Structure 1
Amino acid sequence: MIKQLEMLLALAREQHFGRAAERLGITQPSLSSGIKQLEDHLGVKLVQRGSRYGGLTPEGQRALTWARQIVGDTRRLRDEMRAVREGLSGHLRLAVIPTALTWAARLTTDFAKAHPNVSFTVLSRSSVEILEQLENLDADVGISYLDNEPLGRVTSAPLYREHYALVCRGDHPLAGRARLAWSDLGDAALSLLTPDMQNRRIINRNFMEAGVTPRAQIESGSTIVLVATVLNGGQATILPEDHARFLALGHDLSVVPIAATRGAPTVGLIAPHQDAQTPVLTALFRVAGRIATDERAGATS
């Protein structure tokens, strides 16, 4: 029945029989047959059918909640038994806000040194998408903001605090400044992350509190695109300072810190709450804790 429950999860996620079948790597008739078998087994109709997918019935919505729990528990059981048999091994899908991708690289490479039989897929996602992917079992763990917007019922561990900087070309009028205030940026032509990104909402609040309306000429979901617009078009962008310095390496770019006007947001590791995490996730949280300790020690030294 686990296979049929995974079919229900895929269908609810894609809301289309063809795409759900493709996602699972099976034919559409096999998917339809599996859903029908699940309905027969449970004795209720789960999916509204017509010429196309018509959504889940109320019973289907309830079954979806159970399916997430049962499939998630089954995967965790499988992972725990594999760890007993083989040691830490397997594959983790890590969904990460774009501004934390350098931290994701640090976390996964540090983890891989100690546990070479664990592999990762790192996915760049918005904070909202990360929560959706964790709920839908499309990601195993995430890196996102911890204290800015509601997270729901998750297990979390802080990694670092986010401090911001302006990234501009060396010939930009603000390039020579040692530090900026948010109020200094009202006239600057900016490239910023798109409004669906929590980082952008944080930046907008800083501008609002400074009484400034930002001039966002270009918006993108990619921080690489933002820095490329700075190089090619002369705009400036605002990024977390450590991420900005990484992307500015090798380019004639200035990274100018922006004085904080509110508490720096905390970014950290999140996973669906469980009474007992799998051995791999437990080890990953342990590595994240060591990185956070090193970061705090470096900030105070």
Structure 2
Amino acid sequence: MQFRQLEYFVALAREQHFARAAAACFVSQPALSEAIRKLERELGVPLVRRGSSFEGLTPEGERLVLSARRILAERDSLEHEAATLHTGLTGELRLGVIPAATTVVADLVDPFCDAHPLVRLRIESALRSDDIVDRLRRFELDAGILYTHGVDTSGLVCRPLYDEEHVLVIGDGLGPARVESMSWPEITDLPMCLLRKGMRGRDRIDEVAASQGVTITPRLEADAISTLLALVARGGWASIVPRAWVRRRGEQTPYHVVDLDDPELSGHVAFVRVDVDPAPVLVKALEQVGFGTR
């Protein structure tokens, strides 16, 4: 069994299509197909269900692809470790981040980039917590920042980052006086823009509002907090966003930041990675910079 065969097999499992998998591996489709057939012969089990086209993995293939991803991840980690002895850290670190945490991720990655200038970072910041966990387990991400509440983090190392708090932001063009706090019933008549349903931040808003006996019906939904704040800044909208996204009180802003009366919206945000020992060298280096671990 060769690493190349495992790479082709993992690519096919990911792409669900022979031609796309071959293109992703920069080989011809016949070469990829033959390599996978050779892997099947060596293992003595069928891995792929074939018809006129790719029809999925066999039960044996579904089990093997998990091991194949882990083997390739460990190989990459070993190669990075060896390269570090000669040139310092190189390679690419893949980080998945929930939208609400994109303003704080810079505090983690900036010092890492300064310490390891040869490493490239790829940050995906439009993922849900469950998506990050799933991609970590498939070794498609190296680490993530996510909400831990209601998420199965078994098999992962979790390092708490902060407890998130939400606030109401009201455009300066709206009528409400500049109060310091508002109750949930008081905000139902505001022209609200919120994250779309299904995103964790929006789901928590709906849950807490329901617990207070109110329903908040936004006139506009978006999939990015930056979009919500841009609308609020124009003066005619209000929204509920993580406090980390707004400036401190006393600074000049085109909107007013208002505390929400109890119960407060909150969520535990953590840095996570797959629980393997040793940890991948790039992830270990990020933890050393961000958390002072050795």
Q: Which category of TM-score, normalised to the shorter sequence, fits these structures?
A: 0.7 to 0.9
Q: Going by fraction, where is helix more abundant, 1 or 2? A: 1
1:132 aligns with 2:134: yes
What is the aligned partner in structure 1 of residue 270 from structure 2?
Answer: 268
Gaps of 5+ in 1: 291-301
CA contact (8 A) 2:135 2:141 kept: yes
Residue type of the partner of 1:83?
T
Residue type of the partner of 1:149?
V
| TM-score under structure 1 length normalisation | 0.86
Calculate percent identity across the aligned residue pairs: 35
Pairing partner for 2:210 from 208, 211, 217: 208
Distance in 2 (CA, whole Å) between partners of 1:282 and 1:260 is: 39
Change (3 A) 1:240 1:59: same
Distance in 1 (CA, whole Å) between partners of 2:85 and 2:177 is: 55
CA contact (8 A) 2:171 2:235 kept: no
Gaps of 5+ in 2: none
Change (3 A) 1:152 1:126: same
1:58 aligns with 2:59: yes
Question: What SS does structure 2 have at the residue aligned with 1:51?
Answer: coil
Distance in 1 (CA, whole Å) between partners of 2:140 and 2:48 is: 21
**Size of the alignment, in residue pairs?**
288
Pairing partner for 1:172 from 174, 185, 208: 174
Question: What SS does structure 1 have at the residue aligned with 2:27?
Answer: coil
RMSD over aligned CA atoms reads 2.4
Residue type of the partner of 2:225?
T
Distance in 1 (CA, whole Å) between partners of 2:70 and 2:142 is: 13
Deviates further, 262-271 or 228-237 = 228-237
Distance in 2 (CA, whole Å) between partners of 1:181 and 1:196 is: 24
Distance in 1 (CA, whole Å) between partners of 2:280 and 2:252 is: 41
| TM-score under structure 2 length normalisation | 0.88
What is the aligned partner in structure 2 of residue 226 from structure 1?
Answer: 228
Question: What SS does structure 2 have at the residue aligned with 1:102?
Answer: coil
User: Which digits, 9 at most, give the CA deviation of each residue in 1:182-225, with x for residues without a partner?
Assistant: 34322233222223322222222221222221112222222222
Mapping 1:158-169, distance limit 5 Å: 158-169=160-171
Residue type of the partner of 2:99?
P
Mapping 1:92-131, distance limit 5 Å: 92-124=93-125, 125-131=127-133
Which consecutive aligned stretches of 4+ in structure 1 deviate over 4 angstroms post-superposition? none
Distance in 2 (CA, whole Å) between partners of 1:236 and 1:120 is: 34
What is the aligned partner in structure 2 of residue 285 from structure 1?
Answer: 287
CA contact (8 A) 2:235 2:255 kept: no
Distance in 1 (CA, whole Å) between partners of 2:206 and 2:27 is: 45
Question: What SS does structure 2 have at the residue aligned with 1:9?
Answer: helix
Aligned-pair distance for 1:263? 7.2
